[in-house]
Structure 1
Amino acid sequence: MVYSQLNHPKCMRVRCTGSELSLAECTIYNPEPIKTGVAVIKCYEEPPGECKKFLCANGKCLIHGKPCDGVDDCGDNSDEMCCQKCQGRAFLCKSGVCIPHYAVKDGIRDCLGGEDELDETDKAIENTFTDPMSEIREMRSSAESQVQCGIPNKQDDHSSRRKRSAGWEETLPTQIQWQVVIQDEGLIRCGGAYLGGCWVLTAAHCVRPKPKSFRIKLSVWKKHRPQSTTDIVPVKNIIIHHEYNPQTYANDIALVQLEELYLSDKCMGYNPAVRAVCVPWSTQQFQPNDTCTISGWGRSSTLKWANVTLVGDCEHYFKDRFLPGMECAGDLEGRVDSCQGDSGGPLVCTDASGLSYLWGIVSYGNKCSETNHLGIYTKVVHYFEWIRSKTGWPAVTKFNQ
């Protein structure tokens, strides 16, 4: 399209990654003088025969450019995924994606775990017409003003002890702030995880569609002894996944909606000992061999925590019992495993930026804490859209845009 009537026309170049919510999140460069037109479409033709270089996921044969150099030459970023290492100055994310060097420490989490923003400093992007970073921060801060998730209690943080732990350890009184107790007609059989707002996530086999029979206890340390920070909240609604199968434990997930306080949209008063855990949205956020944390009471009266390892070949251990929406984790030496009494409790993984995500819910297992036996967890990320459809925006993680 040519506008010959324009005097000294200029073209504004915009760079987007494809994950933006609006044009404001793209990088907008200085207007550049053009001679013939104001809009350019760059097309490509598929070369005849077999692609001898890199075949993009969209079918484009990558003739010019190199995979894993931080530049999206394919147009769908497939040439920057599944990389073992990056070329040149590109930065390798833990998930195997290469991003350009100028995206590191630019104020936006380009890597799923946020490792590109460690020791974040504010930097102006050179040669830009407008710096979109402040706009992004402003938009996101307003959208996220009602939710803070996955930030551990620094006073009772157990991360410094993780590497030294080889088994279950007692927590400190307010250490795991998203852990909850699910009480059914006065009896405690399961745990759960607080998502924020008025929502708790647990296993479907832990609940039944009789909300008046349940109470949720938050900030519990000793199972049968409330502490000064303990909140006990009635249940308003229980949403069991519509495809839950109690025989196979398929889709073993349920949402518990808490009762609001009188003349309020909140379910409890401000409690600094209670904090939401983040809900993961990408299956690539955590990988096999990552170390994550489980917590629960089991047969103990005091809340405990332990490290487990995510395992990638779960079918090898569980055969046809391992179904979509499941995750397995544990310690093949038999030192740590979730057992009876931990059901519904959280399996939490922490990313490079320090945010904690609810990666799994304790579902089932056999021969717990025995050699070569693992625990099965409901894989929360598999149900991200289901969770959002039932809870709405305020209950999802701070970085789920």
Structure 2
Amino acid sequence: FKGCSSSSYKCANGKCVNKVNPECDGVKDCFDGSDELRCGCGTRPRKRTKIVGGSDAGAGSWPWQVSLQMDRYGHVCGATLVASRWLISAAHCFQDSDAIYSDARAWRAYMGMRVMTTGNNGAATRPIRRILLHPQYDQFTSDYDIALLELSAPVFFSDLVQPVCVPAPSHTFTTGTNCYVTGWGVLMEDELASRLQEASVKIINRNTCNKLYDDAVTPRMLCAGNLQGGVDACQGDSGGPLVCLERGRRWFLAGIVSWGEGCARLNRPGVYTQVVKFTDWIHQQTKGQV
């Protein structure tokens, strides 16, 4: 590993990370031993290039996908790896009449896993050290539906475990962009997926979405899906990632699976927490680690 040639860069897990720009945009003088440009987020080493109506994801296709599990219930929600010790998920995953949901000690994070089995063979697992819900989260409107989870110890990046890029506040995900939602949620509103599912969904204009949802879509929310139905996130995918391939051929976290009416229904697209609205909060809470 040749190291970083500029003092504005730092190295993490054998990769160079631009600590000035969280998106790693414009990193030009930071290389690994093979002279391949690496900036530390949004890459899929295994892929060079249920979700209802989706398909099985290949190993390493979505290396930032996390399964949040509880001993009592198994897989409960999804999450996204954004740094070696930080995950992003949905606040509603930790709000329930059962107080155990808000207790960090009850949760474990599984990373690098594709097939949901009891052994979770090969997965990196970490207990959760603490759960930070957004202070303005409203469980009745699902506004500000975001949570940060700090792992008890850092996870090591590999071909199967990588962080996704967190967008800058100025980043815009254009209406009509093809993005991907992933998770182990139910496939048919009743059947839980055993293999990680992926589905291509399009970003939908918020005004269009608000007409379908009677103005329930706030400025902190983002809609994506297929207005004809057939493709969507579903229960169990909650908290998981909506990612888009952006400039520089890196994957960025556009949304967090939040809510919707049913799953994959006509004119009922999925509604996601819009991550760009929370970039500053994420940086503040993680003290710049994300």
TM range (shorter): 0.7 to 0.9
Q: Does the CA contact (< 8 Å) of 2:84 and 2:155 recur in 1?
A: no
Report the aligned-residue RMSD: 2.6
3-state SS of 1:349 partner: strand
Instruction: Return the alpha-carbon distance in structure 1 between the equivalents of residues 159 and 44 of structure 2.
Output: 11
Structure 1 equivalent of residue 211 of structure 2: 316
Structure 2 equivalent of residue 224 of structure 1: 117
Go from structure 1 to structure 2 and tell me whether the alpha carbon gap of 1:113 and 1:237 turns closer, same or farther (over 3 Å shift).
Answer: closer
**Structure 1 residue aligned with 2:197, among 293, 297, 304?**
304
Give the number of equivalent residue pairs. Answer: 247
Go from structure 1 to structure 2 and tell me whether the alpha carbon gap of 1:257 and 1:371 turns closer, same or farther (over 3 Å shift).
Answer: same
**Structure 2 residue aligned with 1:295, among 182, 188, 203?**
182
Instruction: Return the alpha-carbon distance in structure 1 between the equivalents of residues 155 and 181 of structure 2.
Output: 26
- Superposed CA deviations along residues 23-66 of structure 1, whole A, max 9, x for unmatched, are x9xxxxxxxxxxxxxxxxxxxxxxxxxxxxxxxxxxxxxxxxxx
Whether 1:234 aligns to 2:120 is: no
Larger RCO: 1 or 2 (CA < 8 Å, sep 6+): 2
Q: Does the CA contact (< 8 Å) of 1:147 and 1:394 recur in 2?
A: no
Structure 1 equivalent of residue 275 of structure 2: 380
3-state SS of 2:182 partner: strand
Whether 1:209 aligns to 2:99 is: no
* Runs of 4+ deviating beyond 6 Å: none
Instruction: Return the alpha-carbon distance in structure 2 between the equivalents of residues 294 and 350 of structure 1.
Output: 12
**One-letter code aligned to 2:277:** H
Whether 1:330 aligns to 2:225 is: yes
- Percentage identity across paired residues of the two chains: 31
1:161-180 matched pairs, under 5 angstroms: 167-180=53-66
3-state SS of 1:319 partner: coil
Instruction: Return the alpha-carbon distance in structure 2 between the equivalents of residues 355 and 186 of structure 1.
Output: 37
1:177-188 matched pairs, under 5 angstroms: 177-187=63-73, 188=75
Structure 1 equivalent of residue 151 of structure 2: 258
TM-score, normalising length: structure 2? 0.78
Structure 1 residue 368: deviation in Å? 1.4
**One-letter code aligned to 2:78:** G
Instruction: Return the alpha-carbon distance in structure 1 between the equivalents of residues 162 and 86 of structure 2.
Output: 12
- Superposed CA deviations along residues 329-370 of structure 1, whole A, max 9, x for unmatched, are 100111201111110010001113211000000001013111
Structure 1 equivalent of residue 40 of structure 2: 148
Go from structure 1 to structure 2 and tell me whether the alpha carbon gap of 1:181 and 1:305 turns closer, same or farther (over 3 Å shift).
Answer: same
Structure 1 residue 189: deviation in Å? 1.3
Structure 1 residue 227: deviation in Å? 5.0
Go from structure 1 to structure 2 and tell me whether the alpha carbon gap of 1:317 and 1:283 turns closer, same or farther (over 3 Å shift).
Answer: farther
Higher gyration radius (CA): 1
Structure 1 residue 281: deviation in Å? 1.1
Whether 1:342 aligns to 2:262 is: no
Go from structure 1 to structure 2 and tell me whether the alpha carbon gap of 1:204 and 1:288 turns closer, same or farther (over 3 Å shift).
Answer: same
Structure 2 equivalent of residue 93 of structure 1: none
The structure with the largest strand share of the pair is 2
Instruction: Return the alpha-carbon distance in structure 2 between the equivalents of residues 186 and 221 of structure 1.
Output: 21
Structure 2: runs of 5+ lacking an equivalent: 1-7, 9-22, 32-37, 95-100, 186-191
Structure 1 residue 210: deviation in Å? 1.0
Instruction: Return the alpha-carbon distance in structure 1 between the equivalents of residues 173 and 247 of structure 2.
Output: 10
